[in-house]
Structure 1
Amino acid sequence: MSSKDKTVSETVMDRRRMLRATGFAGAAAFLAACDSGGGKSEADTKGAPAILGKKRNLKIVTTWPKNFPGLGTGVERFAKRVNDMSSGQITIKVYAAGELVGALGAFDAVSQGKADMYHGAEYYWQGKSPAFNFFAAVPMGMIASEMNSWIRFGGGQELWDELSGKFNVKPFMCGNSGVQMGGWFKNEINSIDDFQGLRIRMPGLGGEVMKRIGATPVTKSGGEIFQALSQGNIDATEWIGPWNDLAFGFQTIVKNYYYPGIHEPGSTLSLGINLDVWNDMSQMEKAIIQAAADAENDTMLAEFNINNARSLDTLISEHGVKLHRFSDDILRKLGEVSAEVVAEAGSADDLSKRVFDSFNTARSNGMKWGAIAEQAFAAARDLATAKNT
């Protein structure tokens, strides 16, 4: 090895050591300085990574109650992660639903530049385009892993960018609550006829399914549900799953708890950024936002899965909740109606049709692979671990 080659090799090793020692943002600034001859900018001398540019103080509005488990705490975690990764150059102040704007006003606030970001569920914006439903959850749609695959590698992100871009918003996945429960009911649901006249809180396309089988769907934000149920304004409600439902105290009002929640099989939570703010960011800033959102997308799902299992046991053993599975006849009917509702949403306009077609292709592929992967393994595991009676 020549002395010149040795110098290059040593330089590469030095950079790798620095990457490990200083972390993401610090290493980026170090490498930028190396590539530019090692000179320091004014920002470097103040201890901030020059590549991040100006300091940003951003506002994020949410559709969740303050510090609500999973959803509310997840967005706080996202904001902290961005602050840490940027060494304090990007700070994000979190506003819960109602603190700056109402829960359902979050999208407009960001679109119009009154807030910089939102954290919510895209089906809340279905009045602007039915295509938004496909980026949160649709009845009999995709589970979390399938949604991740479609949006990240199946063309979903590009279509989402096109849709949200019409409203001056840049979207990201930023959380998932997994398969949701079917809901809480004052009376048992033994046949499809038991939905007749039922007033049920259910947003999005799931609400339309309820309407077509004879129920009356009601859209209410999370913070409004308990009061509506306790006062008899609604007869049933879905929210998320055992962890969040226990926190809201639905078990103190009703005891019939149904599964599975066909309306939200893998509910993707979203981060929306004002497009002008996004376009003003440096590549490093954009990378930090993307990485923080990706991390929260995975972290939240893991958190929901472990806490739902624990909370379900608490609901049953300590609160006398009665767990019911919807009958096969009910599920078949819900599936039939769901197919009609989702297809209609996907035919609203050209963009909705392209989203629907892309979504359907991904769902079909996910179902084929899942049948011989997760589903087949789960069945084998149940068989292998079944207790002798």
Structure 2
Amino acid sequence: MTHSYNFKAQAVVTLRACLTLAAVYFLTACTASDSNPEAATTQTKQEKITLSLAHGWPKGFPVFGESVERYKELVEELSDGRIIINVDSANRHKSAFGIFDFVKSGQYDIGQSASYYYGGKDPDALFFSSMPFDMTEQEQTAWFYEGGGLELANEVYAKHNIEVMLGGNTGMQMGGWFRKEINSVDDLKGLKMRIPGFGGKVIAGVGAVPTNIPAGELYQALERGTIDALEWVGPGLDLRMGFHKVAPYYYTGWHEPGTELLYFFNRDSMNKLPNWAQSILRNAAKLTAYNMTTSSFAANADNWATISSQFPDVKVKQFPPEVVQALKASNQALLDAEVQRSPVAEKILASRAAYLKKARAWTEVGEQAYLESMAN
């Protein structure tokens, strides 16, 4: 199901962003005009910037792909048409997991993808999407913006000539679609599952066989038995993929409680731009990230209602306590090993753990207590 974009509801937020960015541009223009008024006027009227952006999703893909199109439109709107972004989907560049290399090399100026796809390029990239049994969407977004998480991410990506900004959060992800019911840890042994990131490492620790497959190939892999199970996102994106037709067991989540996408910017490309253009690109990313987060939640709510009312054969399950405890033990063993692997990993994980402890104390007395009171 494609979730429509509510332009009317966004108007106020966009206006605020415009006012902020207009102020930034005004100050920049004034500085230029002080030194050379004629040159500044000419630049303001004539300067046009064309940038390239690659994302890892099929063309027209709901929520994720739509978010990139909103970013393109917003940048062009805020720049009054002076910044043009040419967007290539995975259908065009043919490398769903190639965004890191595209942007690092300068083949594309901008990319949008999930950081954990690039753990093979830099193992510390695994820590900037979502972590098992860790922060929720609200908690992790606060960590990125208020707890130093975004600074840590940019420390990691700087050595790859990349600057990152948040690109939107999926919210709580489901635990996946399974062709057979999971009743014990033994049922996971040898099970072939599409699951990326740290979650894939965790499930490997209990005997499963993780793999990663691009979005456009997931249904076929599940239907043909190439894999026995997969996790994708949640109802908002899962239902239209048709996974329920071949894997009736739908398990609740544990591995990605709040998965963040990132915008990747080639640092050389960014540094060549005037300040006003850099400000627009960064602020548009922040606004679009918020839009994607709300769109994801709305799509999940809509499609969960559809699953509940129209697909009675979908069996929603929770993993047995025995399985959850085994996954937690595997996760902790991996975290301990990561701390020993490098000082950078130790610093990132310590930051995440400290913020989780602080944020969860408020979540428990705030939202969790409220939800529990509503359930009674």
For the criterion TM > 0.5, the same-fold answer is yes
Asked if the contact 1:25–1:49 (Cα under 8 Å) also holds between the matched residues in 2, the reply is no
SS at match of 2:87: strand
Instruction: Measure how far apart 1:313 and its partner are.
Output: 2.2
Instruction: Measure how far apart 1:282 and its partner are.
Output: 2.4
Alignment partner, residue 9 of structure 1 = none
Instruction: Measure how far apart 1:272 and its partner are.
Output: 0.4
SS at match of 2:98: helix
Partner Cα distance (1:193, 1:376) in 2: 35
- Corresponding letter in the other structure for 1:219: N
Alignment of 1:138-287 (within 5 A): 138-259=131-252, 261-287=253-279
Distance 1:33 1:114, change over 3 A: closer
Alignment of 1:314-333 (within 5 A): 314-319=306-311, 320-333=313-326
Select which of 85, 89, 94 maps to 1:92: 85
Instruction: Measure how far apart 1:156 and its partner are.
Output: 1.4
- Corresponding letter in the other structure for 1:111: K
Instruction: Measure how far apart 1:101 and its partner are.
Output: 4.4
Select which of 109, 122, 133 maps to 2:102: 109
Asked if the contact 2:29–2:40 (Cα under 8 Å) also holds between the matched residues in 1, the reply is no
Alignment partner, residue 111 of structure 2 = 118
- Percent of pairs with identical residues: 35
Distance 1:205 1:316, change over 3 A: same
Q: Which structure 2 residue ranges, 5 or more long, are not aligned?
A: 1-14
Count how many residue pairs are aligned between Structure 1 and Structure 2.
359
Distance 1:27 1:158, change over 3 A: closer
Alignment partner, residue 307 of structure 1 = 299
TM-score of the superposed pair, with normalisation by structure 2: 0.89
SS at match of 1:167: coil
Alignment partner, residue 376 of structure 1 = 369
- Corresponding letter in the other structure for 1:357: A
Instruction: Measure how far apart 1:327 and its partner are.
Output: 2.4
Select which of 333, 347, 350 maps to 1:340: 333
Render the CA deviation track for 1:292-343: whole Å, top value 9, x for unaligned: 1111221111111121111122123223311112223322222221122233
Alignment of 1:38-117 (within 5 A): 41=38, 44=41, 49=44, 54-117=47-110
Distance 1:131 1:376, change over 3 A: same
Asked if the contact 1:169–1:272 (Cα under 8 Å) also holds between the matched residues in 2, the reply is yes
Instruction: Measure how far apart 1:33 and its partner are.
Output: 6.0
TM-score of the superposed pair, with normalisation by structure 1: 0.86
Render the CA deviation track for 1:88-121: whole Å, top value 9, x for unaligned: 1111111111412401111101101111111000
Alignment partner, residue 4 of structure 1 = none
Distance 1:232 1:156, change over 3 A: same
Partner Cα distance (2:226, 2:333) in 1: 29
Partner Cα distance (1:380, 1:250) in 2: 34
Pairwise CA RMSD: 2.3
- Corresponding letter in the other structure for 2:259: S
Distance 1:346 1:272, change over 3 A: farther
Q: Which moved more, 1:73-82 or 1:118-127?
A: 73-82
Partner Cα distance (1:104, 1:303) in 2: 23
Alignment partner, residue 12 of structure 2 = none
Q: Which structure 1 residue ranges, 5 or more long, are not aligned?
A: 1-18, 384-389
Partner Cα distance (1:233, 1:72) in 2: 26
Partner Cα distance (2:339, 2:53) in 1: 30
Render the CA deviation track for 1:24-73: whole Å, top value 9, x for unaligned: 5556555666675799645646xx746xx942111111111111111111
Partner Cα distance (1:355, 1:33) in 2: 39
Distance 1:73 1:347, change over 3 A: farther
Asked if the contact 2:49–2:83 (Cα under 8 Å) also holds between the matched residues in 1, the reply is yes
Alignment partner, residue 349 of structure 2 = 356
Alignment partner, residue 289 of structure 1 = 281
Alignment partner, residue 3 of structure 1 = none
Q: Which moved more, 1:301-310 or 1:270-279?
A: 301-310
Distance 1:26 1:212, change over 3 A: closer
SS at match of 1:373: helix
- Corresponding letter in the other structure for 1:230: E
Instruction: Measure how far apart 1:366 and its partner are.
Output: 1.5
